[in-house]
Amino acid sequence: MSNLNQNTPVITVLGLGYVGLPLALAFSKKYEVIGFDIKADRVAELKDGHDSTNETQKNELLESNIVFTNSTKEILDSNFYIVTVPTPIDSNNKPDLKPLISASEIVAGVINDGDTIIFESTVFPGATEEVCVPIIEKNSDLQYNKNFFVGYSPERINPGDKMHRISDIVKVTSGSNQDTADKIDQLYSSIISAGTYKASSIKVAEAAKVIENTQRDLNIALINELAIIFDKLQINTDEVLKAAETKWNFLPFKPGLVGGHCIGVDPYYLTHKSQELGYEPEVILAGRKLNDSMGKFIAERLITAFEDDHIEISSTKILVMGLTFKENCPDLRNTKVIDVIDSLKHKGASLDIYDPWVNKSLAEEIYDINLVENLKKNTYDAILLCVAHNIFRNLGLEAIKEFGKEKHLVYDLKSMFASDEVDISL
């Protein structure tokens, strides 16, 4: 078994978002840690003890020994560089590797002989060694597996989840050779109480990560398709699922919008690589197509309900409660609530968007949405419950209904309340 080669290794975490910051904090309890981010404003807020992602508490930041910086000069003496930058998709659903490439270039400019680089960003199988390693070799004049070493340990952070933290989730690790794999596994084992799983290669670890979310995406796609069918059959989907879940091996997935930085993105990384190799992944792409269409289906269902009441959608005022891609976090990345909003706006409806979790200026910057801060009673023809924030659950259905006009519709997309208490459920 290899050792870490340093009694007190210095670790730099590149990218201080939802993944990088909690990871840096976990390592800082045992090691010297530098938190690097190219965004000066992000570094400044963390130095002040503020985390706009709400993943960490002020006292955790202020009491940690992490050095927050956006200067490459301050990361020159690290032994381990852990890359946790985003890996989004572009407007054509193709992998956008610019952040990963930029991070690789930064690492290449600071690493020394013997250093180890670990990538955590979700990628297609092969990306670490086919994309990142050549960039590091070219820009550092160091040789792979001779002067520097590489590993891949996919992130499994669940934004907004206060129960499953880094140390509580089994960590998959891998390395560019056996010695590196052992060293990286030992490093993560020192902070992961749930244990680690050492994959046989970097490519296996990359593939394992990307199929985790692909599998979930397809399961949700199936339930979404069933919801569409049951709607046409005029059967309540939630009631069907409750009946089916009485069988011990029925998987308890729910219909809904599939967005965010993982489930709605990762399958496109796998399909991209598959297509490059000449294989068209029909099932995965079919699931993606269906899930990407759910915003339009949800909007059309509301429009139909209005038509049944002889109400023109263009004359309605609608309240959308929730904008984030999931509950109890401020994360707006790839939220599919925006698809519902755009579909209703296109039909002429007037909308107010309310989400106390979201930074108002950020919503305006990213989606050109002006969030309302205070809700007025007796105002709306329909209320869409799009995100299951605890604050909405605790408010209660009766209080929510007070925002509606005397005659209004409540559309519960997240099954927050009993289906017989709302007008429409998904």
Residue 205 makes CB contacts below 8 A (sequence gap 6+) with 152, 153, 154, 172, 173, 174, 199
253 has pLDDT over 60: yes
Is 341 within the bounds of a domain?
yes
Same domain, 176 and 86: yes
Backbone angle region of 269, left / alpha / beta, with phi > 0 → left and psi within -120 to 50 → alpha: alpha
Is 27 within the bounds of a domain?
yes
Euclidean distance between the first and the last CA atom of the chain, given in angstroms as a whole number: 53
Token pair, residue 369, equals 């949405």
Is 121 within the bounds of a domain?
yes
- Structural domain boundaries, residue 335: 293-425
Is 393 within the bounds of a domain?
yes
Give CA torsion, residues 51, 54, 55, 56, to 10 deg.
50
What separation in angstroms does the CA of 223 have from each of 72, 227, 304, 337? 47, 6, 21, 18
**What b-and-e string marks burial along 231-246, b requiring 16 or more CB atoms within 10 Å of the CB?**
beeeeebbebbeeeee
Taking the mean position of all CA atoms in its chain, how far away is CA 282?
24
Q: Could you read off the pLDDT of 57-101 as tens digits, one per residue?
A: 999 999 999 999 999 999 999 999 999 999 999 999 999 999 999
Q: Is 200 in contact with 225 (CB distance < 8 Å)?
A: no
Given strand 148-152, what is the order of strands in its sheet? 67-69, 32-36, 10-14, 80-83, 115-119, 148-152
H-only helix segments in 277-383: 282-292, 294-308, 337-346, 360-367
Q: How confident is the model at residue 1 (pLDDT cuts 50, 70, 90)?
A: very low
Is 252 within the bounds of a domain?
no
pTM of the model: 0.92
Q: Could you read off the pLDDT of 378-416 as tens digits, one per residue?
A: 999 999 999 999 999 999 999 999 999 999 999 999 999
DSSP state letter for 130: I
CATH number of the domain bearing residue 399? 3.40.50.720
Judge whether 132 counts as a catalytic residue: no
Choose one of 190, 211, 232: the last residue of a domain. Answer: 211
Backbone angle region of 359, left / alpha / beta, with phi > 0 → left and psi within -120 to 50 → alpha: beta
H-only helix segments in 170-265: 178-189, 202-232, 237-244
Distance in angstroms (rounded) separating the CA atoms of residues 411 and 422:
7
2 has pLDDT over 50: no
Same domain, 179 and 299: no
Span 267-282, mean pLDDT? 97
Is 232 within the bounds of a domain?
no
Q: Could you read off the pLDDT of 13-22 as tens digits, one per residue?
A: 999 999 999 9
Is 24 within the bounds of a domain?
yes
Q: Could you read off the pLDDT of 134-150 as tens digits, one per residue?
A: 999 999 999 999 999 99
Number of domains in the chain: 2
Same domain, 59 and 184: yes
Is 270 within the bounds of a domain?
no
Query: In sequence order, what DSSP letters do the residues of 146-170 get, joined into one string?
Result: TTEEEEE------TT-SSS-GGGS-
Query: In sequence order, what DSSP letters do the residues of 91-109 get, joined into one string?
Result: TTS-B--HHHHHHHHHHHT
Q: State the pLDDT at residue 417.
A: 93
Give me the half-sphere count of Cα atoms (radius 13 Å) on the Cβ side of residue 111. 31
Q: State the pLDDT at residue 107.
A: 98
Q: Given the residues 132, 262, 329, 386, select the one marked as catalytic.
A: 262
Token pair, residue 60, equals 């955790």
Q: State the pLDDT at residue 7.
A: 60
Distance in angstroms (rounded) separating the CA atoms of residues 417 and 257:
17
Choose one of 211, 231, 256: the last residue of a domain. Answer: 211
Span 294-321, mean pLDDT? 96
Choose one of 168, 186, 211: the last residue of a domain. Answer: 211
Residue 139 makes CB contacts below 8 A (sequence gap 6+) with 104, 105, 108, 109
Backbone angle region of 111, left / alpha / beta, with phi > 0 → left and psi within -120 to 50 → alpha: beta
Q: Could you read off the pLDDT of 38-64 as tens digits, one per residue?
A: 999 999 999 999 999 888 999 999 999
How many percent of the chain have pLDDT more than 90? 91
Distance in angstroms (rounded) separating the CA atoms of residues 231 and 224:
11
Q: How confident is the model at residue 23 (pLDDT cuts 50, 70, 90)?
A: very high
Same domain, 104 and 195: yes
